[in-house]
Chains A and B, each alone.
Chain A
Amino acid sequence: MPRWLRSLLSSGPGRFGVIVVLLIALTALVSLFWTPFDPMLSDVRGRWAEPGWPHLLGTDGTGRDILSLVMAGARTTVFVAVGAGIVATLVGIALAALGALTARWVRETVAVLVDILIAFPVLMIAMMISAVWGGSLWVVVFSVGIGFGVSIARVTRPELRRVQQSDFVLAGRANGLTTGQNLVRHLLPNVAPVFIVQLSWSMAVAVLAEAGLSYLGFGATLTEASWGTLLADLQRYIGVHPLTVVWPGLAITLTVLGLNLLGDALREATDPTLSHRGDEIHEPAVIA
């Protein structure tokens, strides 16, 4: 077992994060093949069943099984978190590389542009895209991905500049590596820890963003189960059946908490200089 993994699992929050993230991923995987009931199947006679057997968390206003809906919602959450993670990685690497490795005027322009783009809240990007394309989960994936790509680039860029000035990169260049080859072989592996930590936190916000945007009607469509749309559905009957809204909200909170703690623990596990730099915190980013 590598040292960082052992250190990750040795802390309580780290273990909690790993377990929760695995649990959600597993639920999403299982829900592809099996849920207790068909999450989209309505049963008018079985409306608003109390939690119990066979509907463990009860049913909603059209008789759909809430546990099945929550399980199927995990699928959407994982899709959005992973999709946004991939987009954020690509955008982040591209912007960080452009901002660190190119000619001076390109570098500075990109840096200023990143500083401006970062003020653009993700929700605004999503609104712009969905004003044009209509809402879908892809809107969420791209808006969150682009938004966080930009903020990851801002954190990664100085790190990339620092590593670029180290001797082994210089040695690589002296041996005839091009900038691109140097980036892949030496630079990226060295900034990977910073990057992965940021990614973990971004995925947490992606989960919140998916819920928020789906709640507003800019995310999942009616045929896709999502914790956000489920909350919007159940909210209409909150006066009569207040306890049903507990489950999807709990699922979101648990997932976000897990990803946040995983990010914190990963940072502690991969960054040996942390104790010198003090207990700095990631900038709060709020979406939903």
Chain B
Amino acid sequence: MVDGPLGVLAELTHACPLSCSYCSNPLELTKRSEELSTDEWRRVLDEAADLGVLQSHFSGGEPLLRRDLPDLVRHASGLGMYTNLVTSAIGLSRPRAEALRDAGLDHVQVSIQADEPVLSDRLAGISSFDKKIEAARLVKELGWPLTLNVVLHRQNIDRIAAILDWVEELEADRVELANTQYYGWALRNREALLPSREQLRHAEKVTREARERLRGRTDVIYVIPDYYAEYPKPCMGGWGSRQLVVGPEGNAWPCLSAHELPLPRANVREHDLAWIWRDSPLFSEFRGTDWMPDPCRSCDRREVDLGGCRCQAFQLTGDMYRTDPVCVLSPDRGLIDEAVTAANDPAAVPAGGTASEPVLVPMPAVRPHRAD
């Protein structure tokens, strides 16, 4: 019997006022008219609770664009789930925030792109920095625990000290400093996003110092870019092991990048979540270690990193069964080393860390567009 998931990530919509060049949404965004209805989401949450889900993360796109967000939060909260909002904070007005608080929302995560408006607004593609800061203050004022989510990359990583000053100033309870993961949009924009070794060294030093200074006040979580690691991450704690994602159109996934893989879809409109989680070919495909080829199959680390990321293997090699190329034991590691070498080439694209340096705009052709 397969253990039930602990959490569900509900991607309510792909629509978003921001257009970040590392967006985790699929290259083909779901239209608003194809999104699950309020009743369909309620049913998904009921089925998730029956499966053992204890936490629901409302995300997107921008989940605040769904008018029914407070209804869905209230429903999840009524099922005993710990409810979390993952937001750009655009649209988090006081009345909306109060409605969410009344609905029982437990925790808010606000994305921060940089420490100041010029760079932040350029990265987000819209004037948004001041609204984010204001919304973060509102989150604290209304008594929620506040997490700031910062996606780090070549263009903002040198600003990390000033970003951490905001973390302190806003009295955030947690900060996730997560280096970009290179799938989908971010893979296409990798050259402009992958930091150099020197940039990372600096960021890690600043983060260590901040962690000491903020001990007891703020949890500082730092996620290295796996391109600079020796071994891959145990993605999602294992395929179909702890979490599931439900997209706006009702497709369920073991992780939020898995939509790229050539696997049969499993949609909540056609199947109940219990079947999808326990029995669907999609969720069974990479569960456990039986699917592994060598070098993973005979490796002592196979239960540690679980073969790494299937999406990364597929996107870089075209074969989703191969060992994650990030692993130094992978025959494909050269693909990673090539990108790392390019990122450390003095002639590489400049790190657009400060406004005075040349402005590097994400390539328009591959920027996510607003659905509708």
A pairs with B: no
